[in-house]
Chains A and B, each alone.
Chain A
Amino acid sequence: MAAAEKKSPPAVPVLSTAATADQQIAMLERMCEIRGFEDEVQRMFAQGLVRGTTHLYQGQEAVAVGVCSALRIEDTMTCTYRGHGAVLAKGTPLDRAFGEILGKAGGLCKGKGGSMHLTDVTVGALGSFAIVGAHLPISVGAALSAQIRETDELAVTFFGDGATNIGAFHEAMNLAAIWRLPVLFVCENNLYGEYSPLATTTPVSELTVRAASYAMPSERVDGNEVLAVHAVTSAAAERARSGGGPTFIEAMTYRIVGHSRSDPAKYRPDGELDDWLKRDPIERFVQYLREAGVASVDALEDVRTRAHTSVAEAAERAKGWPEPTIDTRFEDVYT
């Protein structure tokens, strides 16, 4: 079962049209920006402009955009070190995200975080965390805070399939469930935990099974269908805001690139990547928007061009920003 799933992606659900036409175009534009952003980060890395490592998101854009487009700006979101897409989807500006990855003073985190820690609290992007699973309890705390403060804010946390094997995941799920906290657990199942196929590390092929042991509602969704992700998230968000507690969402998706910049992803079986490229979330969404009559071919091409231009201009701006002054390393340890 697990092996078969690895070969062939899940069946295509009927696309939801819950989002308005304008929203759908905005979603496509953000997905194109994220793709362009990650392609540009890859180039910057090759040019020696990026330190350390990067974990890129090409291929998974529909998950971040589908989820975040169903949220409000005051809803909080945490994500992993593969978090550029989620932070951009929550609404952070392209140039400040580039600036952070380039280590610039004008970066989101003043050059102290880097690729793995993009954060923009002003848009509810509460943090990107580089210890697998560690941010799940933190989002549970954000949801607890919303509950104690008697607001209807949500907390959303993105994580990979690999994180479902770490203790913090289970502690967070359990606590969220017993306190009925307004938190959405979004598992991006891209079939690999770092270099290892899911079946070699995990005895269940459908991770929603794990939610069942916490009596938590769950949904498995095609993570390459942005409107399907949006619809599932909207329903879960509504339940959480009205006191119905947490939801576990398993979004089936695929990263087109390796785990990190040093990974050529040779562990993938022949043909797997090609199968998934045929289901590229951007191409599918463009096709849908055209066929559904939401936008013309020309209008859709304009969206891509606009995204491309935004990314290129943001990258150039950020490259021109100054490095942090060295004394700033002493700042922000304590208040």
Chain B
Amino acid sequence: MTELTYRQAINMALVDELDSDPSVFILGEDIAAAGGVFKVTEGLLERFGPSRVRDTPISEQAIVGAALGAAVTGLRPVAEIMFADFAGVCFDQIANQLPKYRYMTGGQVTVPVTLRLANGASGGFGAQHSQAVENWFLGVPGLKICVPGTPADAYGLLRSSIQDDNPVLFFEHKGLYQLMGEVDRSLTVPLGKADVIRVGSDATIVANQAMRKIVTAAADELARRGIEVEIIDPRSLAPFDFTTVAASIEKTNYLVVVEESSGQASWGTTLVTRIATDHFELLDGPPTLIASDDVPVPYSEPLENAWLPSEQEIIETVERLANS
């Protein structure tokens, strides 16, 4: 076990994959000589050389397309999309090419591409560098989606993503890069497996990435008020571990989902729908989604903070449900 930041854990996962599999290489804007704008890829160029650690032009379509072409001809690329919002300029490659290629060819190709994307609000980057965009891709069968919230999950999920023979979107939350935690380099984390991060019997809260911290604070306060909350981090959004969530609701009978994103066409909305449809009998109250406001991410600190789901809103929602 080593104490690492989320950033260091991702770096270490890249090192360990580059070390253990010669078919792995990485590419992206300023990831080599500069070590990445978030310094996630620092030291990799020096260690693995310019053939396997490649700076690209500012050309997201070429980055993703080249990763795809390399993947179907025997390599295992890891491409970085600097800010996840930039997925918009290579949307075709992510939504039409990566996930459909295998299917359209009747399984003739495998597409072991990992895209790392720096996601999420709270840094004051403004609307075009702050959106958590994973929901853009939920409606695209053929992709896998990871949203790690701790250094250990970042390490373990990234290694699993790179080893996976399918295209994986690996969303790193910018607000978590400095987060410290224990990492065991011998452990990978399987895709599609949720983690119960707090055990409780009165209500189930599902949250990930930056929302874990706020939900945990809310749970502490609720405990002081006599309400024991169970918290589940799904860790992957596709495939989604509905089983673990349903098992928790069987015990707690309430579901609250907390999501850093507009709730329109989101993973939280899907989860609420799915639980209401398949497990209505388990519920003693309406499954509830607490999401961000339906506006772009604002710049100013008070505006951005107000846009995010708040601890107070979570406490009030859970209290109202549990006391109903």
Contacts and interface: CB of A to CB of B under 8 A. Distances in A.
Nearest to B75: A145
A87 to B, nearest CB: 11
Interface stretch (A25-33, A35-43, A129-137, A273-281): A129-137
Contact of A171 (B57, B70, B110): B57
B73 A145 contact: yes
A103 B94 CA distance: 26
B109 interface: yes
B97 interface: yes
Contacts of B74: 145, 149
B108 interface: yes
Nearest to B110: A335
Interface stretch (B99-107, B209-217, B253-261): B99-107
B32 to A, nearest CB: 13
B57 A121 contact: no
A113 B62 contact: no
Contacts of B87: none
A109 B105 contact: yes
Interface string A130-158: 01001111111111111011000001000
B269 interface: no
B138 interface: no
Contacts of A333: 102-103, 141-142
Contact of A175 (B51, B59, B77, B93): B59
B65 interface: yes
Contact of B103 (A107, A155, A332): A332
Contacts of B71: 141
B146 interface: no
Contact of A113 (B51, B65, B104): B104
Contacts of B142: 333-334
Contacts of B77: 141
B70 A148 contact: yes
Contacts of A141: 65-73, 77
Contacts of A117: 104-105
A137 B61 contact: yes
Given A112-B103, A149-B74, 10 more contacts: A119-B106, A131-B97, A137-B93, A141-B77, A142-B70, A145-B70, A167-B61, A171-B62, A175-B66, A333-B142
24 contacts: A110-B106, A110-B107, A112-B104, A113-B105, A119-B108, A127-B72, A127-B101, A131-B96, A137-B62, A138-B66, A141-B70, A141-B77, A142-B72, A145-B75, A148-B75, A171-B59, A171-B61, A175-B57, A331-B107, A332-B105, A332-B106, A333-B103, A334-B166, A335-B165
